[in-house]
Structure 1
């Protein structure tokens, strides 16, 4: 009799344990970011799991170059993870239009993000959002504080002050004024034209006017940044035309150049490699008293596989990704990748804090070529790379570059015809 009771108790215990085990749900995250695997495993996922017993999360990245093809295959085969890391704009929009990503517009966490923050993962009309924004990268200039101190240079606020600083550095001769090359082309556009341009075309207002066809690339606000860029070549040092992106990084971190036109993604690497104090300033405005604008470019987000077998648990995780807690954890774990949330918090890295503080002074925008305007041929983004590099080298005038870009865009984009 006692044996039967013992067996019954053992069976009951086993059933209870089995039921508890069965209640655990495992969510899998698809991502192209394999460099932040330890951040997810050691910081982000443990923080979520501690507050959500019964939900386990696995971060399963794919090599960046293979991600789009692998993800599409998995989604088509029904084997993709519950959570999908979203690239900005067209790649993710296409997945949503094919029914592969769920509509997340009604999520409570979406209230924590501005329209600009959501623009990379929203439909063209802005009414539907299908990924929770995670982070952006901010553009500006990183500089050698020691060099500025030696030369008695103040952080420039206007374009005139910027070029005066470059002239002073060049005249002194100890440092290359600015480290950027044109061999790879994209830097001239991304850290050049798209960095300083928003101050001329007034950020989102100008970008929206271009999309609507109310503005043209030959209008003064779009030609003016090319004119400013045309002056850069004389400050980039000998042989900049053959200088690659890694060359430019090395010149700066070795202390040979005073200023680096930058994206905030450089912070972690520069912090490790530079043997001097780093500072940063936002793109100087054309005239004293002008409103400043920064390229606060949407970079990464997280969506829900529309075919997930665990929609409630997946939404719970996404609500957390949209929370202030996640914003602070993520931004501090990956300095230079800034939460797109409206949440206020301090960053531990002082250079990262400097970049993100500009949001309080300057109006944010995204790169002008990324939404809608690069869907046709010629591709406006790629053409802007070439045009920017040409203008820096003096191979094309600002006016000719703008005319060429406008002609290319008008050849396929109806509102510009």
Structure 2
């Protein structure tokens, strides 16, 4: 949704004319008698299109509050869905016309090239010592010891499941990957989609494999980076993860045509009760408070992690998690100082972190323990337990560890692998080629 706000910057100095109509005289007289304060307009480019629920609600609430507290500031928001956002971001960047405050991802595939191009303003790291950011959360927005943005979330990839459907049919949460595949057959036999998958955007498929490698290898985040840097994906766990993805597709774990199902479509399949499970990140925990989700689903959402793989070294507590989306200020912004003030305001105590938690939207990248009440939704409690009980986290997933070109190629390969147009050996070979 694009929100248009007209910014008035011209001080009215019109002298009343004897030939003007009386109403015009009165208007100009009023303008002459009032000193009009200057207005600062901050333009925001966001990937949060829904301004009434989820993270878009929190973002808009903070903007509205900031404008109330700073009446001489106007905030204009342009919002697009992720893929359209990234496309227009490139167009804005190439034309040196980026808005003042932008959404950014703390991942090398997105941020490194943007930083190297001098597009983002450097932030003062010392300003955030008391903001409660969790250990390591600022690393994704840093390069060469300098900070260029702030993360908003701790993101965890997991399976959402409909507890009512599971209970009705006597199904249990799968403990192993083999159990998950067996469960898929049982769910299909009941005429339901076992697990909704956003295959059109491709990155969930890459993360699915990344998640599997964690179950095969355990704590492997350092090795992921080495593989990207060296172009060596000869570790057998990469091929095994590719085989397991194909096994899931052959077993019918995902919906028919998943490769053309986009984010919204795959979400709706679960939210409308057509799918028993949904593989997606913790940022969708807001389904449990979203009035647009049918009550039969909204009130029965459970969460479980990727199950362990028989013979794998990893535990169920070796999780796919990272600090992803956040915000940055553009270096050439004409209102850069004011945009940084807005950014800092968003992440002060009792702002983003508190509002996001109280509304059941997501887990902040800041310490939110002070806001725990014991009355949280089931997904909130589940994800909090998952993170606090984790034995390792993957960090940034392999598709986002390289260049933007590697990201595009590796995610294309993940989709091709999933639909069976390439074999696991070809996937590995082409993945290695993509790093060169």
What CA deviation, in whole Å up to 9, does each residue of 1:358-417 have, x standing for no partner? 211223322211122553598223223322332xxxx544344323322x235x1xxxxx
Map 1:12-411; keep pairs closer than 5 Å. 18=35, 21=37, 25-36=40-51, 39=57, 43-49=61-67, 53=70, 56-64=73-81, 65=84, 67-69=88-90, 71-72=92-93, 76=96, 80-89=98-107, 90-109=109-128, 112-114=132-134, 116-123=136-143, 127-135=145-153, 137-166=155-184, 168-169=186-187, 173-176=189-192, 178-180=194-196, 184=200, 186=202, 189-190=205-206, 192-201=208-217, 202-213=219-230, 216-236=232-252, 240-241=256-257, 244-245=260-261, 248-249=266-267, 251-268=269-286, 272-274=292-294, 275-276=296-297, 277-286=300-309, 290=315, 292-329=317-354, 331-332=356-357, 337-344=362-369, 345-346=371-372, 348-362=376-390, 363-364=392-393, 365-376=395-406, 379-390=409-420, 396-406=422-432, 408-410=433-435
Kindly report the root-mean-square deviation, in angstroms, between the aligned alpha carbons of the 2 structures: 4.0
Please give the alpha-carbon distance, in whole angstroms, between the structure 2 residues aligned to 1:303 and 1:242.
33
What CA deviation, in whole Å up to 9, does each residue of 1:125-170 have, x standing for no partner? 5x22211112354311111211221233332343344345445546
Q: Is the 8 A contact 1:180 1:187 kept in 2?
A: no
Return closer, same or farther for 1:405/1:366 CA change in 2, 3 Å cut-off.
same
Q: Secondary structure at the match of 1:104?
A: coil
Equivalenced residue count is 382
TM-score, length-scaled by structure 1: 0.74
Q: Is the 8 A contact 1:135 1:299 kept in 2?
A: yes
Return closer, same or farther for 1:45/1:149 CA change in 2, 3 Å cut-off.
same
Q: Is the 8 A contact 2:196 2:270 kept in 1?
A: no
Return closer, same or farther for 1:118/1:210 CA change in 2, 3 Å cut-off.
farther
Return closer, same or farther for 1:59/1:39 CA change in 2, 3 Å cut-off.
farther
Q: Is the 8 A contact 2:225 2:401 kept in 1?
A: no
Gaps of 5+ in 2: 1-30
Q: Is the 8 A contact 2:210 2:397 kept in 1?
A: yes
Q: Secondary structure at the match of 1:325?
A: coil
What CA deviation, in whole Å up to 9, does each residue of 1:50-104 have, x standing for no partner? 6x54663503215452631453266x25xx5432332444444333323331111
TM-fit CA distance, 1:189: 1.4
Please give the alpha-carbon distance, in whole angstroms, between the structure 1 residues aligned to 2:280 and 2:222.
24
TM-score, length-scaled by structure 2: 0.71
Return closer, same or farther for 1:323/1:385 CA change in 2, 3 Å cut-off.
farther
Q: Is the 8 A contact 1:373 1:380 kept in 2?
A: no
TM-fit CA distance, 1:241: 5.0
Q: Secondary structure at the match of 1:138?
A: strand
Please give the alpha-carbon distance, in whole angstroms, between the structure 2 residues aligned to 1:273 and 1:377.
32
Q: Secondary structure at the match of 2:172?
A: coil
Q: Is the 8 A contact 1:30 1:60 kept in 2?
A: yes
When structure 1 is superposed on structure 2, of 87-96 and 148-157 the one drifting more is: 87-96
Please give the alpha-carbon distance, in whole angstroms, between the structure 2 residues aligned to 1:340 and 1:254.
30
